[in-house]
Amino acid sequence: MATATDTTVLDPFLRYLWDTQATDLHLAVGTEPRVRIDGALYAMPDQPPLDEATLVQILGGLIHGKDRDTYEAERQLDFAFTWGGTARFRANAFFQLDRPALALRLIPTEIPSPEQLGLPASTAGLLTRPHGLVLVTGPTGSGKSTTLAAMINYINQTRPVHILTIEDPIEYVHPSRMALVNQREVGEDCTTFSEALRAALREDPDVVLVGEMRDLETISLTLTLAETGHLVFGTVHTNDASQTIDRVVDVFPADQQDQIRTQFSMSLAAVISQRLVPRIGGGRVAAYEVLMGTPAVTNLIRENKVRQLRNILATGQEQGMMVLEQHLASLVAAGTITYDDAVHASVHPEDIAGLAGSVRETAPTG
């Protein structure tokens, strides 16, 4: 029988995070607890630096059994837990300077809709596809997990299919609605991503979510699933669509890359890259770059002409495509974000001025 999670010592910190609408909590020995609000870290007021005994007590309430053994042996552990009926948290316990530390990310129990996230309308068609590969990319903390959860939740509510998720750890929980949803956590329900992906071929899924495409074996199996009649969603830690293509292909040995380019190009439905940008007045808003798997995109990937993808992105609005800078510029023009924040979020900041036109002179700068 699993030991229950005990958050008694942690509760005051979690309540503060919840009340201030923070997204992350950081605890480390010798420093005040800190929360992340609208992307910036702040020390919690009226809190002394944490001592080691308190942090050990907090971790003792969260980590038990074989997870405790893993944490002690590997000096780090990814896990998730539910806080009452309020929220779930994704957690990483680790050591720094030979002392314990903990980072928590809030996972709201309510999953936003694609419209609430501001996902471009062109992405709606991806959720009704019978097969193909949809990659959601961006740096850590850019909202990838929430975007994927919104997509899976939409399919769950609207399609009579079998959805299988493979995650490390499980973040958003999806009770079965119109769809049947099975969620497997690496380390709990399966040993590795690759073993779970192999088994997926025998579990009759229609839609598969791969929490992270980490290595050659995981990427290879994901591509196989996408080209064998499954709709597959995955994440890659890259900055833009073009870099995503290179990252996937470059994982493979040089003598396999031509074959992988062909396989990848034929299965790719879309790459959605995103950033979270401070919203004027508080909160954050997502800015997106969208690459659709059109015939022109397929040809460029197969022919290893990835550098030309940006031109197709920038001129492919009729196919639902756009570069990140186009979306950032439109958010500036709408008065949603500042020009300075748009430049800071951009992979190609030199393009913002031209796309925004005269917005720079009229929009707030911070």
Q: What is the mean predicted confidence (pLDDT) over 49-53?
A: 96
Of the chain, the end-to-end C-alpha distance in Å amounts to 53
Predicted local distance difference test score (pLDDT) of residue 3: 61
Per-residue pLDDT band for 357 (boundaries 50, 70, 90) equals low
Predicted local distance difference test score (pLDDT) of residue 340: 93
Predicted local distance difference test score (pLDDT) of residue 351: 83
Predicted local distance difference test score (pLDDT) of residue 356: 61
Q: Is the pLDDT reported for residue 353 higher than 90?
A: no
Instruction: Calculate what percentage of the chain has a pLDDT beyond 90.
Output: 80
Q: Is the pLDDT reported for residue 363 higher than 70?
A: no
Q: Is the pLDDT reported for residue 296 higher than 90?
A: yes
Q: Under a CB-based contact definition with an 8 Å cutoff, are residues 218 and 210 in contact?
A: yes
> Which residue, among 101, 54, 47, 56, has the nearest Cα to 77 in the 3D structure?
101
Average pLDDT of the chain?
A: 92
> Which amino acid is residue 176, in one-letter code?
S
Instruction: Measure Cα distances from 343 to 111, 330, 338 in Å.
Output: 29, 13, 9
d(CA 5, CA 109): 18
Predicted local distance difference test score (pLDDT) of residue 101: 97
> Which amino acid is residue 320, in one-letter code?
G
Length of the chain: 366
Q: Residues 199, 203, 206, CA angle at the centre, nearest 5°? A: 115
Neighbours of 281 (CB within 10 A): 7
Q: Is the pLDDT reported for residue 361 higher than 70?
A: no
d(CA 238, CA 245): 9
Per-residue pLDDT band for 69 (boundaries 50, 70, 90) equals very high
Neighbours of 72 (CB within 10 A): 11
Q: Under a CB-based contact definition with an 8 Å cutoff, are residues 162 and 204 in contact?
A: yes
d(CA 173, CA 105): 15
Highest mean pLDDT among 15-24, 85-94, 153-162: 153-162
Q: Under a CB-based contact definition with an 8 Å cutoff, are residues 283 and 38 in contact?
A: yes
Q: Which residue has the higher pLDDT, 104 or 353?
A: 104
> Which residue, among 327, 308, 316, 266, has the nearest Cα to 291 in the 3D structure?
316
